[in-house]
Structure 1
């Protein structure tokens, strides 16, 4: 472990530490966006669902291009554009006073995330030795959740459910993050630059799309992940609206803020033991187990009426989340062709279709069925979240066949 930590590049540490503060800033504002729109702006659940969903919808279509363009023009340019763009977006949130302005800002928020996320993960994969990649990806995931531990609590203290000050603070944090990245890229100018195209054919956007779309294992993983993310997305969208609106819960926004922080704390506690167990399994199996647990937790949220019940649901949800997402980066890195690593990380961004559908489906169910049908609502979203399991099972079967084929070829080559 110590040897692997020493092998982590300073630029990787910058991204990991920057992720802590970036996610802290984001999680003290964005998770409360649904509540803010309903409570302060007077939006309906359906309107709120559309505003929340647009971020992921833009991300679905932009993430592939964001990852691809980082393969062509270099990780550095894409990272800096997206980070400083993010800063402007959060300042825009802070001054917005119309629902349509929140719609526009959240669309740009999705665009910045779609550019930054696949590019930062591809850069981490580029500069990290193979034996340390699992550790680096999990440190990044731990950094996300460390930020989320404190972000919602700070958001509650700032009154994020009824004030827009938290957005301004997030904007300042991303400006500082961008300045830090500039300093690191000056120190290491050879990193994050565009790859030389000498001696090899330049991969066009259509060629990159065809390559990834014809990779059947990758496609099955992607479809399965869409449904995994669909279940995950209900936590910050449907559940947030439900807890704010239901008369059975007093001060639901505060409850939800504590649930977000508790979710992150549980991640930090169980992440590395769970990853140690999951790393011994075939890489798709943790995603399947995680999907089952997330679906079960959604059922618990539908029937719970006490703080203890909701916290039990958070524990089960969090273990499922860890199983689904800690191994995803390693899995994609294993599947991806090296020259298209950024493209593959961008293409997996299509799993954000789940984040698009979650607030739309949840808002529609809350509007049409009403709060009195909470059990039915959460049964429906739990069942739909489990639809990805057959696709993940198919991907696992195909990967096993490929591994057996490789093992049978090795003796022949010898």
Structure 2
């Protein structure tokens, strides 16, 4: 890990900030639905719309969020979005009306889709290409560490009964923003792209849209990733519904809680051993292997009964998750145009369409076939996830052809 010895202070700032930011988010946002229905008396339909609007706004604005960081500079976009994010959490704490929660969660999705692409692009700007995989995975680890502790803190803070945790989250994000501001003031930025601050590097939005639209590798990889994430999303949508309602498994809710904790711990435990293996192959190869393992995990969800089997199945699923998500940032960095790195990372936000399609598809299959036919339900979900493989194989072929053409010119 010699790559960690000479990291720019901003890189450490983002990694450490990610731990506390995700911890703050996961101790508040996951409990919002329970608070709205149980305390505020909001209907399940309205609650579902409030929760969904964050993802929908994130999908709609992620491309623009990434572009803004290319056009106006990472610093400006990061600082504006994170301080706005802090005010959003204050808003969650003080609003009373249903429309207020809807508006705040829409802003939450906007802030996330603006800050995240810019921060990942800055990590790439400040890191040598040979070390970017390690840095992207360090950020991935930071996310998982935050998510392990956040829900536990949220539970003890009573986040399902009050909005107190949102005020704490606001304070965390305000401190994160202040730390970025101070670090920017005390350090210099020296990157090959000069953080895209120069006028010559500023690409107009219509041109950025034209370039990305004409990039068939980007477009087809996004489609493949959407299908892969459709399968992965079943972990937090279809699986808990199945376990909580099926007659085939006793204490399904308790089993799901254990599996979630085991999933997060497994991610941290196996991430870097898998990283050493994944470095021997292309990022796309690792992503495809990860998608296959997630699909096998989905079949396992339908077959598993005893706890030992569930543990084995979850290990397979989690290994697939790590291979998929630890390599997507590096893959996007590899295919991005140097002066449009933020835009390409922003385009990754479209893959969250899988997090919209997946729960809807899983819920439809449960409604159609019931909770006691898991092999059929998860088998069909597995098939939908595997559709990503031929598409990503096509992307790999396109990349090889592109490399050959570049070598000949």
Q: Above 0.5 in TM-score?
A: yes
| RMSD (Å), alpha carbons | 2.8
Deviation at 1:375, TM superposition (A): 4.4
Instruction: Report the CA distance shift for 1:153/1:365 in structure 2 as closer, same or farther (over 3 A).
Output: same
Deviation at 1:218, TM superposition (A): 1.4
Instruction: Report the CA distance shift for 1:178/1:293 in structure 2 as closer, same or farther (over 3 A).
Output: same
Deviation at 1:150, TM superposition (A): 1.6
Instruction: Report the CA distance shift for 1:20/1:50 in structure 2 as closer, same or farther (over 3 A).
Output: same
Deviation at 1:44, TM superposition (A): 6.9
Give 5+ residue unaligned stretches, structure 2.
Answer: none
1:393 lines up with 2:393 in the alignment: yes
TM-score using structure 2 length: 0.88
The answer as to whether partners of 1:152 and 1:261 remain within 8 angstroms in 2 is no
Instruction: Report the CA distance shift for 1:93/1:363 in structure 2 as closer, same or farther (over 3 A).
Output: farther
> How do 1:2-13 residues align onto structure 2 when only pairs under 5 Å count?
2=2, 4-13=3-12
Report the counterpart of residue 321 of structure 1 in structure 2: 321
Report the counterpart of residue 89 of structure 2 in structure 1: 90
Report the counterpart of residue 143 of structure 1 in structure 2: 142
Whole-angstrom CA distance in 1 between matches of 2:64 and 2:214: 17
Deviation at 1:105, TM superposition (A): 2.8
Whole-angstrom CA distance in 2 between matches of 1:112 and 1:327: 24
More displaced stretch, 286-295 vs 307-316 = 307-316
TM-score using structure 1 length: 0.87
> How do 1:62-77 residues align onto structure 2 when only pairs under 5 Å count?
62-77=61-76
1:123 lines up with 2:122 in the alignment: yes
Q: Deviations over 1:197-228 (max 9, x none)?
A: 1xx37421111011011111111111111112
The answer as to whether partners of 1:233 and 1:355 remain within 8 angstroms in 2 is yes
Q: Deviations over 1:341-361 (max 9, x none)?
A: 111111121111112223333
The answer as to whether partners of 1:45 and 1:366 remain within 8 angstroms in 2 is no
Report the counterpart of residue 377 of structure 1 in structure 2: 377
Instruction: Report the CA distance shift for 1:67/1:35 in structure 2 as closer, same or farther (over 3 A).
Output: same
Report the counterpart of residue 104 of structure 2 in structure 1: 105
SS at match of 2:283: coil
Report the counterpart of residue 295 of structure 1 in structure 2: 295
SS at match of 2:380: helix
Report the counterpart of residue 184 of structure 1 in structure 2: 183
1:19 lines up with 2:21 in the alignment: no
Whole-angstrom CA distance in 2 between matches of 1:81 and 1:59: 17
The answer as to whether partners of 1:63 and 1:349 remain within 8 angstroms in 2 is yes
Instruction: Report the CA distance shift for 1:99/1:235 in structure 2 as closer, same or farther (over 3 A).
Output: farther
Whole-angstrom CA distance in 2 between matches of 1:54 and 1:155: 22
Report the counterpart of residue 403 of structure 2 in structure 1: 403
Deviation at 1:338, TM superposition (A): 0.5
Whole-angstrom CA distance in 2 between matches of 1:54 and 1:158: 25
Report the counterpart of residue 219 of structure 1 in structure 2: 219
SS at match of 1:183: helix
Whole-angstrom CA distance in 2 between matches of 1:312 and 1:165: 38
Q: Deviations over 1:62-109 (max 9, x none)?
A: 010001011111111211122122222233334455655443332222
Deviation at 1:249, TM superposition (A): 5.2
Whole-angstrom CA distance in 1 between matches of 2:251 and 2:378: 20
Instruction: Report the CA distance shift for 1:245/1:166 in structure 2 as closer, same or farther (over 3 A).
Output: farther
Q: Deviations over 1:273-316 (max 9, x none)?
A: 11111111122111111111112222333444554444433322
> How do 1:244-393 residues align onto structure 2 when only pairs under 5 Å count?
250=251, 252=253, 255-367=255-367, 369-393=369-393
Deviation at 1:33, TM superposition (A): 4.3
Deviation at 1:379, TM superposition (A): 3.1
Instruction: Report the CA distance shift for 1:189/1:408 in structure 2 as closer, same or farther (over 3 A).
Output: closer
Whole-angstrom CA distance in 1 between matches of 2:235 and 2:33: 12
Report the counterpart of residue 54 of structure 2 in structure 1: 55
Report the counterpart of residue 195 of structure 1 in structure 2: 197
Whole-angstrom CA distance in 2 between matches of 1:380 and 1:31: 28
Q: Deviations over 1:221-267 (max 9, x none)?
A: 11111112222223223334445555755482x65444333222111
Whole-angstrom CA distance in 1 between matches of 2:7 and 2:289: 30
Whole-angstrom CA distance in 2 between matches of 1:374 and 1:102: 35
